[in-house]
Amino acid sequence: MGKIKDISAVLICKNAAKTLRLCLDALEDFEDVTVVLDETSTDESGTICASYSNVTTHQLAFKGFGPMKNLATSLAKNDWIFSMDTDEIASPSLISFLAEETHNPYAVYAFKRNNCYKGKVINACGWDNDYPIRLYHRKFTSFTDAMVHESIKTEGMNVVKREEFITHLAYDEESQLALKAERYSSLYAEQNYRKKEVATWLIPFKTGFTFFKDFVLRRGFLYGATGWMITGYNARGVRLKYSKLHALNKKISISLIIGTYNRPDALERVLESVVRQSLIPMEVLIADDGSSNATQSVVDSIRDKLPIQHIWHEDEGFRLSAIRNKAILSASGDFIAVIDGDMVLHRDFIKDISQHARKGQYLQGKRVLLSASTTDAVLKRELIDPGPFTKGITNRLNAISVPFLAKWLSPIRNHIKATRGCSMHFWKEDLVKVNGYNEDIKGWGREDSELAVRLQNAGVKRKNMVLSAVAFHLFHPEAKRDQLQLNDEILEIAIQEKAIWCKNGLIQE
């Protein structure tokens, strides 16, 4: 058999010395074997790779299995990629297939994998009927970016199953099963943070069902003590991954940005409502669009009650986008809650936001409008906590808070209708992805709608919060709208061009 010249064998490697020689020996017919070695690897893997003339090694930091495999693929010489794990051995029949057959670039090829424990093939416990995709053309597909349980993208591709097999020397001792359960569960939790929800009751149910399924339905009992052990660690991995995800989902760092301009009495009431929150944000940033010293005095008066920063710039007209961007750049939280300085918050406002926040979404809140007389009562502290039965309010339904129903009734709506910048909330990474607010928008109006357009174009979905995150909007005369026509034009350009990035935002081009 001649050398395989048009296919690159690609592996990622960490502390694989036990099986690496067997893996590389089976790949001796490849002219190009590309190995990406985890830089934290401490065994002889690098030395072993260096002893093979057809192996090129790159030492890099681990970034998750999907990203790591895509990176390794990009370093290979050929477009056809044969992706292997370092504990896998390609059979002679598989090597012959790779060398002698013509392959369809619009297809991906899956091969039978025999999974072993202590060298013995286990055809049970979910280890059987395993056909991982191992051959593909990198110009037509790639791995997903999943941190764990990565896979080749197959949309629009023909998946060809082959019986030429791979021997998977998965484990030869119990500690390896325990290590995999620990490591993969941590990666799973990180990958699915705030993407998937896990109820506490579901964890023991899924753990128990996994054990029953693998030991009984998938015939683990046929392998006696070995089947019992493998099934036990399969169930343990399920318990760990959901337990870790449940714990991780409870953690969220929220920075609250409050926009203000020369309305210290309103800001003082808003900050008092922040102090009363059932969940205090990790920090409060006052995005001050050029107010006088009276606002600074309000901020100073609350410093002993809240972790607060006063972000200020010169008064050069209405520049809300610019001062919000400045506050975003100063924020430390992973999640950014944005309100106006005339929004008095229900005591569970931040808590509700924390419960709604999901990756790939931004949150659109509602507001309860207070009349001039009711606003005056709030400012004079005659009314501390407005509610749904308070006199002098409109949008009365928006004042009702029923968190357990809100979870099910808050819809995903990808449009910009009823965009309210006075209560909009984002993952900071999403704001960075679209470059924040567009500072070309000056004067009142459309800075929030234009941002919403770009976020949705970037794939970030809008979630409308109902029956939660209640906030009461203090009355004030309408702002001048002398720049609205120009701002509408900027918004329309973003819509027509399906814009994601603005040139004049967090980063100034």
Count CB neighbours of 357 within 10 A: 21
3-state secondary structure of 167: strand
pLDDT for 340 = 98
Average pLDDT score over the chain: 95
pLDDT tens digits along 120-154 = 999 999 999 899 999 999 999 999 999 888 999 99
pLDDT reading at 165 higher than 80: yes
pLDDT tens digits along 441-463 = 999 999 999 999 999 999 999 99
3-state secondary structure of 127: coil
pLDDT for 11 = 97
Fold of 4-171: Spore Coat Polysaccharide Biosynthesis Protein SpsA; Chain A (3.90.550)
Q: pTM, whole model, 2 decimals?
A: 0.85
pLDDT reading at 265 higher than 80: yes
Residue 101's pLDDT band, with cuts at 50, 70 and 90, is confident
Q: Where in the chain is the domain with CATH 3.90.550.10?
A: 4-171, 254-496
Task: Say yes or no: domain 254-496 is CATH 3.90.550.10.
Answer: yes
Count CB neighbours of 173 within 10 A: 10
* Contacting residues for 244 by C-beta, under 8 A, at least 6 apart: 185, 186, 188, 189
Walk across the sheet containing 361-364 and list its strands: 308-312, 283-288, 254-260, 335-340, 423-427, 361-364, 461-464
3-state secondary structure of 295: helix
* First CA to last CA distance, the chain: 57
pLDDT for 2 = 60
Residue 254 β-bridge partners: 335
CB 386 within 8 A of CB 412: no
CB 188 within 8 A of CB 149: yes
Residue 509's pLDDT band, with cuts at 50, 70 and 90, is confident
With vertex at residue 281, the alpha carbon angle to CA 505 and CA 455, rounded to the nearest 5 degrees, is 30
Residue 1's pLDDT band, with cuts at 50, 70 and 90, is low
* Contacting residues for 439 by C-beta, under 8 A, at least 6 apart: 319, 321, 322, 325, 502, 504, 505, 508
